[in-house]
């Protein structure tokens, strides 16, 4: 995973939403002088996420495209977006702010929308050796759960997508947020599950010299069984479970590299449990010799037939005798 070197916030505004009133509280100007680093750190947290395509007619995409063409319309367009965002009312939605900002992230222009929940905190001050407690509701917290929803868009990408996080449904996205942005999943569950399977197999192949043969020989079954007993993929949590006691930091780094190559780094998703159960390849010679192996070991088996004779060559680091 690449490391973000520089973030420069070029435009920034927020509006108060879901605070119990019919209309949002719209701002004209929200300077963040002295607090830029706080928001830069929050941006770093959301640059990887679930990818979605924009649907034809997405009003959100139209809105940020309008800002891109007419930067002076930034505040006015953000106010219209806040009104639309606020119009969805639910008892499950916490009061907070809708932030819209434009940032330069390592030379790439990003439009970023964030829903930040207010966190109630209690502060104190001392007066004549007495502590006086005060409750503050309107706060920006460093608590990761406070950053509830986000969407990051680069209009200059060859295919414009939204990188989305939604704490209400981390593996997917709530219907409200999906409708507000006008998006659909970039990859379906079947494709995501198969890509993950390939990343797991490729990671295991790269590290098999340090893994026990009884583990590597069961790679496809290990992945299949994990999908059947688990509901969703959650990045490091899943890879640790797949490798179990054999997991190392190096394996974790390789796995993330494979995810990036497969274009799914940062994704969380529900598994497609309909994946085909893997079958081990099995051969029996006329003389009664049985050979069976998992697909991960396929490249170690070479079968050549010339005339009436078949030659099978197996290359292995270690031969283990098993009694029947």
What are the residue ranges spanned by the domains of the chain? Answer: 7-185, 189-324
* Residue 173 confidence (pLDDT): 85
Contact 20, 89 (CB under 8 A): no
pLDDT band at 259 (very low <50, low <70, confident <90, very high): very high
Rounded Cα–Cα distance for residues 139 and 95 (Å)? 11
Whether pLDDT at 290 is above 70: yes
User: Rounded CA gap, 143 and 117, in Å?
Assistant: 10
Q: How far apart are CA 192 and CA 214, in angstroms?
A: 27
* Rounded CA separation 228/297 (Å): 23
Distance (Å) of CA 115 to CA 96, 202, 244: 7, 37, 36
Q: Report d(CA 289, CA 310) in Å as an integer.
A: 13
Residue 1 has pLDDT above 50, yes or no: no
Global pTM exceeds 0.85: no
Name the 3-class secondary structure at 75: helix
C-alpha 324/C-alpha 274 separation (Å) is 34
pLDDT confidence of residue 4: 63
Q: How far apart are CA 280 and CA 220, in angstroms?
A: 9
**Environment class of residue 177 by beta-carbon count within 10 Å: exposed (0-12), middle (13-18) or buried (19+)?**
buried
Q: ∠ CA(64), CA(72), CA(98), 5° rounding? A: 50
Phi, psi (deg, nearest 5) at residue 31: -65, 140
List pLDDT tens digits, range 136-168. 556 666 666 678 899 999 999 988 999 999 988
Contact 311, 289 (CB under 8 A): no
């Amino acid at each position: 995973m690449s490391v973000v070197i520089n973030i420069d916030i070029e435009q920034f505004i927020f509006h108060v939403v879901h605070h119990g009133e019919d209309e949002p509280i719209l701002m004209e100007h929200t300077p963040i002088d002295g607090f830029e680093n706080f928001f830069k750190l929050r941006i770093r947290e959301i640059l990887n996420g679930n990818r979605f395509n924009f649907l034809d007619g997405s009003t959100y995409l139209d809105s940020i495209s309008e800002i891109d063409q007419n930067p002076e319309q930034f505040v006015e367009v953000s106010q219209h977006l806040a009104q639309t965002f606020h119009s969805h009312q639910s008892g499950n939605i916490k009061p907070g702010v809708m932030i819209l900002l434009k940032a330069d992230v390592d030379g790439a222009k990003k439009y970023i929308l964030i829903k930040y929940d207010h966190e109630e905190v209690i502060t104190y001050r001392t007066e004549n050796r007495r502590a006086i407690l005060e409750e503050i509701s309107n706060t920006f917290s460093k608590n990761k759960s406070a950053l509830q929803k986000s969407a990051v868009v680069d209009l200059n990408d060859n295919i414009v997508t939204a990188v989305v996080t939604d704490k209400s449904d981390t593996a997917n996205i709530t219907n409200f947020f999906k409708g507000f942005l006008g998006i659909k999943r970039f990859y379906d569950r079947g494709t995501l599950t198969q890509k993950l399977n390939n990343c797991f197999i490729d990671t295991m192949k790269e590290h098999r010299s340090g893994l026990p043969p009884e583990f590597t020989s069961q790679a496809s079954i290990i992945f299949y069984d994990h999908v059947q007993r688990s509901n969703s993929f959650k990045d490091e949590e899943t890879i640790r479970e797949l490798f179990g006691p054999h997991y190392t930091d190096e394996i974790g780094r390789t796995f993330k590299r494979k995810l990036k190559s497969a274009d799914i780094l940062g994704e969380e998703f529900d598994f497609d449990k309909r994946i085909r159960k893997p079958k081990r390849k099995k051969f029996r010679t006329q003389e009664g010799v049985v050979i069976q192996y998992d697909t991960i070991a396929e490249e170690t088996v070479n079968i050549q037939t010339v005339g009436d004779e078949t030659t099978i060559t197996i290359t292995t680091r270690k031969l283990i005798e098993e009694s029947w």
